Amino acid sequence: MNMRNDTEELKEFLLLGIPQTEGLEPVLSVIFSAIYLFTLLGNLLILVAITSSSTLRTPMYFFLGLLSILDMLFPSVTCPKMLFYLSGRSRAISYEGCAAQLFFYHFLGSTEGCLYSVMAYDRFVAICHPLRYMLIMRPGVCVGLVMAAWLVGCLQATILMSLTFQLPYCGPNQVAYFFCDIPAVLPLACADSSLAQRVGSTNIGFLVLLFWFSVCASYTRIGIAILRIRSAEGKQKAFSTCSAHLTAILCAYGPVIIIYLQPTPNALVGAMVQILNNNVSPMLNSLIYSLRNKDVKRCNHSFRCL
């Protein structure tokens, strides 16, 4: 794909930052730096705990380790550049850098959404078919599911980037946002972008709903299975294996639905929700899985694992 396509005169975009936060850059820089560092450290500790402990080498923790990797990579797409210009340095981002930022944002976001569905299926098999769990979720199947998640993410990101950057951009080049995303970049196109906007929104909405329905289907079956358990202890144990994952899903899907499916977008609300999705949710995942998962918590407190 020739991404430059009649845009030889456009060399870069300017990121205007978070709407309505002029003068707050030093404070925001400190806050987001702390969140970003905590996100990296928290997810790194989970990853180290999983790879260091022989008791955590199960499909559930294999997927959790991959989620930790994604939660380190996803905020790294937007946060370093945001911190760079919040510290008073250049807000410019190259044309290719803007395209790469949009691609990896949707690639990693879609992959993570698909991984949540895979993790829900894993919990369904563990609770509804416990005796066949290791047979069904054997290593080859787990690797295949993860590869499918990466493939879905790559395909989704390629489609969205192609829709956005096949249009000519000849000025203005000021992106009224803190990173290059479809709703902020498309209005700058020198041609009609309505088709790209509709197709992009439909594509994102369809994928989010597909992931959401797959999660709901798995947890509906899980809920029915839990209700059939007679002992209160058995119900509590089954629920505890799913509570952290359910909490993480709500933190992930809520912002995405608000951002892309709101009928009358508000710039400030959209930016705050996007920050929650980009930076806060990956940090919360490390807290959720560390505090609510006894095995991970035990390993994180063990010098043997750390």
**Quick one: three-class SS letters along 51-68?**
HHCHHHCCHHHHHHHHHH
Q: Which helix or strand (DSSP H or E) is residue 69 part of?
A: helix 59-86
> Smallest Cα–Cα separation from 74: which of 146, 9, 157, 3?
157
Give residue 53's pLDDT.
78
CA–CA separation, 52 and 304 (whole Å): 8
Beta partners for residue 13, in sequence order:
93
- Tell me which residues of the chain have a pLDDT lower than 50: 1-7, 302-306
Give residue 303's pLDDT.
36
Give residue 5's pLDDT.
45
Give residue 23's pLDDT.
84
Give residue 76's pLDDT.
94
Give the percent of the chain with pLDDT over 70.
Answer: 84
pTM for this model (two decimals): 0.87
Handedness of CA 240, 245, 248, 253 (dihedral sign): negative
Report residue 90 CA to chain centroid gap: 27
Give residue 298's pLDDT.
59
